[in-house]
Structure 1
Amino acid sequence: MASKPHNVAIIGYGMSAKVFHIPLVLALPSDFKLYGIVQRSPKPNDDASKDHPHATHWRSADEVYTDPAVDVVVITSIPETHHAMCKAALEAGEHVVVEKPFVTSLAEANDLLAIAKKSGKLLTVYQNRRWDSDFLTLRHVLASGSLGELVEFETHYDRYRPDAPADTWKTRDTPGHGSIFELGTHTIDQVHQLFGLPRKVTGFITTQRRLPREGSAHDSHTLVLQYPDGLMVTVKAAIVSPETEQLRFWVRGTEGSFNKFGVDVQEDQLKAGLRPGDEGFGVEPESLHGSLTTVDEEGKLERRVYETVGPPKTYVEFYRVFAKALKGEGDVPVKAEEARDCLRIIEAAFLSSKEERTVEL
């Protein structure tokens, strides 16, 4: 007899819920059921009860923690609420998926790890960009050994938005906000997946936009991570980068190099209404394929297009792996301990930038 789908409650009804979670939950009906949504202030043109009339609808997250039918809570609220909401859900006996950034500090992360262990419930962080096609392709390149011994690795998330944006919760200088939490959380997580914790961190956290508002969060960062074997990793997000094609990865080794431009297509496809399983979902166009340069035995350089690895594993893989973990079949897709380690890097970067020095981990 097939097991009953897990009832999922979504806290928040912004872009994260609509684009990154609800479509993926609905893509796995045998594993998950969209049981309910918390939306504090519905509007005529933004009403979860109209979009999903068969779900339960709440105005407060507190109602989720007291509903015995809820199995999994997905937290998509603003970063400074993550700790309290994760804590409440875990202590209510519910499994938790929390959006990145995990929490706003290392201390909060350690506290939730202890609570999850005591409750016996699963806690995982939505680091969906582990399933970006460009990152999966990069892993394929590294596994092939084509680059030899790595000496330098650059990961970029640069954009061209030079003017100060409207005042929103994302732009305010409060805990968990700014580019290092918004974009750096993704790129730091990918670096941590590949290489683990660095030995040293040097951080430059700044604002590049014109006329920055007082009290606005930082919008750009550059981190230099040094590893014991001599590998140097640069993690960069610039908001003033006027390029027709933005660099994503540039990796150099003793026997070759790999570079890639552009970002994964899934976010834009989801925003446009394409759904997992639709034709072309997650498939990169040829224009986004990477470039591999290798050195032959005679020392001659050869450059060729490196096609994106396929068929692609899309963001649905996060929830597919999570469903197996709920059945006791393996680990959660993203361990909270890994997200905690990334916060160690982030806190070291802030300290480095503030004190203008390199910080040892």
Structure 2
Amino acid sequence: MQKIKTALLAYGMSGKVFHAPFLELHPGFELTGAWERSKKLIQEDFPLVKSYASIEELLKDEVDLVIVNTPVGTHFEYAKQVLLAGKHALVEKAFTTTVEEAEELKEIADEKGLKLTVFQNRRWDSDFKTVAAIFDKDILGEIVEAEIHFDRYNPNLSPKPHKETANDGAGVLKDLGPHIIDQALVLFGFPDALFADVRKTRENSVVDDWFDILLYYPNTRVRLKAGFFVREPLPSYILHGKKGSFLKSRGDIQEDELKLGKKPMVTDWGKEPEYKSGVLHTDIEGSEVRENIPTIPGNYYGFFDALYHSIRKNQPEPVTSQDGINVMKIIEAAIQSHSQQKIISFQN
């Protein structure tokens, strides 16, 4: 197996928790190091890798893939440098700060024959995998309405300056928003129109920390919500069809396990507690059914395995650059809708 030499553009929480453990686990990747600006931490966990002093030094090295896991406002600049240097790129969400930037990155990657993917890892969460499986079985009938929430209770401002200062990459719409926007697009496709309300609810917040987006489809309405004052949350996934309903709480355990330093595995990983099972209430072959649905285990290994096959076997990226562009289109339209207080329609 020809290994993909991979470097990180930072070794903070995302590099340590979401990327390095799976690069170490997958036999097709070799972690070469990370660009570290002040704290030099990666060699504490991986003594044989490099701590690069600059992105220029990193790009001159024998690296095949670069993970752009820096603040959102830097994604376009760094991803462009990576692609122009002839390296494949994995960019964290939000993909960029504008649709125009996202489209330019796609153009560069296409011209150079490089792989460009967006780290929409929540597609591999246990809760969403379970919802998607129910959706695909078509046992709810035609979906009339759906809601996806990413709710938290955290009234405090983040200690990370890039998250709480007024900049193009800050705010919950570009932080948690890409997760549930992407999930909605996976299930329902691109909408005809949307209406959005975006707010600041925390004391002294200068960035948005609450949103409510309504996606319009011909026969379906999909609501996406996130906020920081939800102490007692509703189910994070609510699907109502003409035959029945499915409710599922947000229950994926991977992030918490990884933060505790637990090493992921290819199997026997990402199993939710049984009490977080989803509730299915529908009609199956003329009989009313109400039962708990066991949760499908989540595993971010699936993303990295698909990325390996994309690069080495020229298969499609696990999340395409067009997927990233589509999420940015929703975000830009949501900002426009909130500003103008009107429904924004998308031209086909």
Q: How does 1:117-132 map to 2 (within 5 A)?
A: 117-132=110-125
Amino acid in the other structure paired with 2:51: H
Alignment CA distance shift 1:329-1:219 (3 Å): same
Q: 1:296 to 1:23 in 2, by over 3 A?
A: closer
Instruction: Return the alpha-carbon distance in structure 2 between the equivalents of residues 329 and 123 of structure 1.
Output: 12
Q: How does 1:49-198 map to 2 (within 5 A)?
A: 49-67=43-61, 69-166=62-159, 168-198=161-191
| Partners of 2:143 and 2:239 within 8 A in 1 | yes
CA distance in 2, matches of 1:239, 1:281: 29
1:314 matched to 2:292: no
1:345 aligns with 2:338: no
Distance 2:322 2:148 in 1: 22
Is this contact kept in 1: 2:271–2:298, CA < 8 A?
no
CA distance in 2, matches of 1:344, 1:279: 36
In 2 relative to 1, CA 74–254 (structure 1 residues): closer, same or farther, beyond 3 Å? same
Unmatched runs of 5 consecutive residues or more in structure 1: none
The CA distance in 2 between the partners of 1:297 and 1:325, in whole Å, is 41
Following superposition, the deviation at residue 247 of structure 1 comes to 2.0
**Structure 1 counterpart of 2:208:** 218
Secondary structure of the 1:247 match is coil
Instruction: Identify which of 288, 313, 316 aligns with 2:276.
Output: 288
In 2: Cα distance, 1:96 partner to 1:206 partner: 33
CA distance in 2, matches of 1:313, 1:239: 25
| Residue 160 of structure 1: how far off its partner (Å) | 1.1
Native 8 Å contact 1:269 1:281 kept in 2: no
**Residues paired across the two proteins, number:** 346
For the Cα contact (< 8 Å) 1:205–1:350, is it kept in 2?
yes
- Residue 13 of structure 2 aligns with an amino acid whose one-letter code is M
Alignment counterpart, residue 266 of structure 1, candidates 254, 267, 292: 254
Distance in structure 1 (CA, Å) of the matches to 2:312 and 2:12: 29
Q: CA RMSD in A?
A: 1.7
The correspondence for 1:252, drawn from 240, 249, 252, is 240
What is the one-letter code of the residue matched to 1:53? P
TM-score normalised by the chain length of structure 1: 0.92
Task: Select 1:40's aligned residue among 32, 37, 45.
Answer: 37
Residue matched to 2:2? 4
How high is the sequence identity, in percent, across the aligned residues? 36
Measure, in 1, the Cα distance between the counterparts of 2:156 and 2:243. Answer: 41
Consecutive unaligned residues in structure 2, runs of 5 or more: none
Question: Separation in 1 of the partners of 2:128 and 2:265?
Answer: 21
Task: State the AA in 1 paired with 2:292.
Answer: V
1:163 and 1:88 map into 2 onto residues whose CA distance is 35
Question: Is residue 252–residue 298 contact of structure 2 (8 Å, CA) maintained in 1?
Answer: no
CA displacement 1:48-85 (0-9 Å, x = unmatched): 22222100111211211222x11111111111111111
Structure 1 residue runs of 4+, over 3 Å off? 163-167, 295-298
- Deviation string 1:170-229 (CA, Å, 9 cap, x unpaired) is 1222112111111110000011111111011101010122x224xx2111100000012x
> 2:133 is matched by which residue type in structure 1?
H
Mapped partners of 2:262, 2:188: distance in 1: 34
